[in-house]
A = this chain, B = another copy of it.
């Protein structure tokens, strides 16, 4: 029979505070605070004692009090548009995780990110709400004007997956150029000589980088590579459908298609099926992002972009920059490169012998 209510600790109702810990460890709350915040100047024994008390009391610092006292509440805005639900979902998870870890607060808002006027207004409105930082996704991250305005307002901004790094703001993302280069190389290695390419949304800098990487790989492969068939897409499934139609109607028969994102790749897949092609025997299809990859049949070979990780890193950077700015330090843009990887699944294989 478990004894109830007799234990030393009370269950809920008011968690332990820093005072309780201080009393338990027989130090001042200041010292506890120092230990919790990992400051150096605390002796080993004291530190250990405090840690023990924290554990014993199940102490968890009160975030509200912390951000109030340190004047360090960081609110980070994020505008979205449902570019690709899967993409956004991963982004959100990463951002949320990063916010939790860094004690920031995420404020998300929906708007038509594609329309510069609307997006700009939405961003500025969001900022008026009392934002300290802002996570800029494409195509917002490409607008120099918006960036300037936001910076003037004193908002820390970080661009997400901007394709190429830049000097005006901090960015975190993968090397789209290199990734596309590698994927194209893989296709060429498989034996493909005529490859179709579905370009991503023209507003996104990363799209350009992906295309550039593709072209570079083709060029570097030298002779024997037929001129590629390139069609424009706009990152949506819908646009992928149209792109695929255009691609298959073109005179030059391709044996592989490289779509700038998974959404479009899965659209191409769907159209190929409809036309009676068997993937990957008749046609190889690869995507980019690894967002819908395993929800297709066959499963998509693609470039994995660790979106959550990127988002988390971006949040961390924003928080750090905010704190620096508050301390009066001038922050200079910093770029972080996250590594990507090729995920080889079932949708790509050697071209048909014919």
Chain A residues near B (Cβ < 8 Å): 11-13, 15, 58, 60, 62-68, 73, 80, 85-86, 88-90, 92-93, 96-97, 100, 105-108, 110, 128-130, 153-154, 237-238, 241, 263, 266-267, 270-271, 273-274, 276, 291-292, 294-297
Are A270 and B291 in contact, with the CB atoms below 8 A?
Answer: no
Are A270 and B241 in contact, with the CB atoms below 8 A?
Answer: no
Are A62 and B58 in contact, with the CB atoms below 8 A?
Answer: no
Find A73's partner among B63, B241, B292, B297 (CB 8 Å cutoff).
B63
Are B60 and A64 in contact, with the CB atoms below 8 A?
Answer: no
Are A64 and B73 in contact, with the CB atoms below 8 A?
Answer: yes
CB-defined contacts of A108 to chain B, threshold 8 Å? 93, 96-97, 100
Q: Shortest CB–CB separation between residue A264 and chain B, in angstroms? A: 11
Nearest-CB residue, chain B, relative to A75 = B63
In the complex, the 6 A-B pairs of residues with the closest C-beta atoms, listed nearest first: A89-B89, A12-B154, A64-B68, A237-B295, A64-B67, A85-B86
Are A263 and B129 in contact, with the CB atoms below 8 A?
Answer: no
Nearest-CB residue, chain B, relative to A106 = B96
- Listed by A's residue number, 5 A-B pairs whose Cβ atoms lie within 8 Å are A12-B154, A13-B154, A85-B89, A271-B297, A292-B295
Are B63 and A11 in contact, with the CB atoms below 8 A?
Answer: no
Are B105 and A294 in contact, with the CB atoms below 8 A?
Answer: no
Q: Shortest CB–CB separation between residue A335 and chain B, in angstroms? A: 25
Find A266's partner among B105, B271, B294, B295 (CB 8 Å cutoff).
B295
Q: Shortest CB–CB separation between residue A75 and chain B, in angstroms? A: 8
Are A96 and B92 in contact, with the CB atoms below 8 A?
Answer: yes
Nearest-CB residue, chain B, relative to A270 = B297
CB-defined contacts of A80 to chain B, threshold 8 Å? 93
Q: How many Å lie between the Cα of A110 and that of B94 in the bound state? A: 11
- Supply 12 further A-B pairs (C-beta < 8 A) apart from A13-B154, A64-B73: A11-B153, A11-B154, A62-B73, A64-B65, A64-B67, A65-B68, A85-B85, A85-B291, A97-B108, A100-B108, A237-B294, A263-B295
CB-defined contacts of A92 to chain B, threshold 8 Å? 89, 92-93, 96
Contacts A273-B270, A274-B273, A291-B85; A130 near B64 (Cβ below 8 A): no
CB-defined contacts of A110 to chain B, threshold 8 Å? 93
CB-defined contacts of A296 to chain B, threshold 8 Å? 237, 270
CB-defined contacts of A86 to chain B, threshold 8 Å? 85-86, 89
Are A267 and B297 in contact, with the CB atoms below 8 A?
Answer: yes
Q: How many Å lie between the Cα of A153 and that of B89 in the bound state? A: 31
Q: How many Å lie between the Cα of A297 and that of B238 in the bound state? A: 9
Are B107 and A100 in contact, with the CB atoms below 8 A?
Answer: yes
CB-defined contacts of A62 to chain B, threshold 8 Å? 68, 73
Q: How many Å lie between the Cα of A276 and that of B274 in the bound state? A: 8
Q: Shortest CB–CB separation between residue A251 and chain B, in angstroms? A: 24
Q: Shortest CB–CB separation between residue A150 and chain B, in angstroms? A: 11
CB-defined contacts of A153 to chain B, threshold 8 Å? 11-12
Q: How many Å lie between the Cα of A21 and that of B149 in the bound state? A: 27
CB-defined contacts of A88 to chain B, threshold 8 Å? 89
Q: How many Å lie between the Cα of A297 and that of B263 in the bound state? A: 12
Are B63 and A105 in contact, with the CB atoms below 8 A?
Answer: yes
Which of A96, A153, A241, A271 is packed against the most chain B CB atoms within 10 Å? A96
